Structure 1
Amino acid sequence: MASNNEHKHDPNVLHPHISPTSMYLKVAAALFALTILTVVAHHFHVQLGAFAGPIAFGIAAVKATLVLLYFMHLKDDNNMNRAIFASGFFFLVVLLLFSVIDIATRVVETSPL
């Protein structure tokens, strides 16, 4: 029989699937900072002009990436789950691309009235 000493948990050993609390606090602080940056960027949207949208989407993409990697544990997950998430974003880009092409190629119609 195995002795009880073999089954004791050593609190000094860090297991790869267990993330330390400090990491979650750092990621949460980064998300709060990016949220504040989003609010600041919104206040300067007139000065940013055409760059306001891409800047907002860029900040949102960084926040979504942090959530996916750390809170949804994709950082420590296998490559199949990463591929599934990446394919979802790929098809989102395809959908947006088709929408942009549709809007850009529309013919302006004038009313005969």
Structure 2
Amino acid sequence: MTGLGEDVPLTAGAIWRRTLPVWAALILLLGATLGLAYVPLGRFATATALGIAVVKGGLVMLFFMQLRKPDPLLRLAASTALFFVAFLLILTFADVLTRSAPSQPGTVMPRSQPELPATGQRGF
């Protein structure tokens, strides 16, 4: 016996009392995500959406994946997955942030109106 309540028999009412508030919070956060999609937040739109997504993911991990229990193997698997996702996001943002803007010289841009190619130049 570890004192974590694993030996306590769970009734249907106990399961509903534990999961229904979490489900309601996830539905409210889903409504917040949907509502904020129509609000012009400017540069804070992405940060707000990611913040809500992190809260929703945290609720799912804590309550439905049962990461509140101190099972070392379960926490190792979850932390490994979280590390891998963070690594992929860091690589993606590093790639996006180091790209040059398409308006810099040397970038090939399509022409809006067809023109005759000048002699000695590329006719894109």
Relative to the length of structure 2, the TM-score reads 0.67
Out of 63, 73, 82, the position equivalent to 2:75 is 82
Alpha-carbon distance in structure 2 between the residues aligned to 1:83 and 1:50 = 35
SS at 2:73 equivalent = helix
Give structure 1 regions of 4+ aligned residues with deviation exceeding 6 angstroms.
none
Alpha-carbon distance in structure 1 between the residues aligned to 2:92 and 2:86 = 10
Alpha-carbon RMSD: 2.1
Alpha-carbon distance in structure 1 between the residues aligned to 2:34 and 2:84 = 29
- The corresponding residue for 1:34 is 29
Amino-acid identity (%): 33
Q: Show structure 2 runs of 5+ residues with no match.
A: 109-121
Q: CA deviation at 1:98?
A: 1.1
More helix by share: 1
Q: CA deviation at 1:23?
A: 1.6
1:49-88 correspondence runs (5 A): 49-88=42-81
- The corresponding residue for 1:3 is none
Alpha-carbon distance in structure 1 between the residues aligned to 2:89 and 2:80 = 14
Alpha-carbon distance in structure 2 between the residues aligned to 1:75 and 1:35 = 23
Q: Show structure 1 runs of 5+ residues with no match.
A: 1-14
Relative to the length of structure 1, the TM-score reads 0.73
Q: Greater RCO between the two (CA within 8 Å, min separation 6)?
A: 1
SS at 1:43 equivalent = coil
Count of residue pairs the alignment pairs up: 97
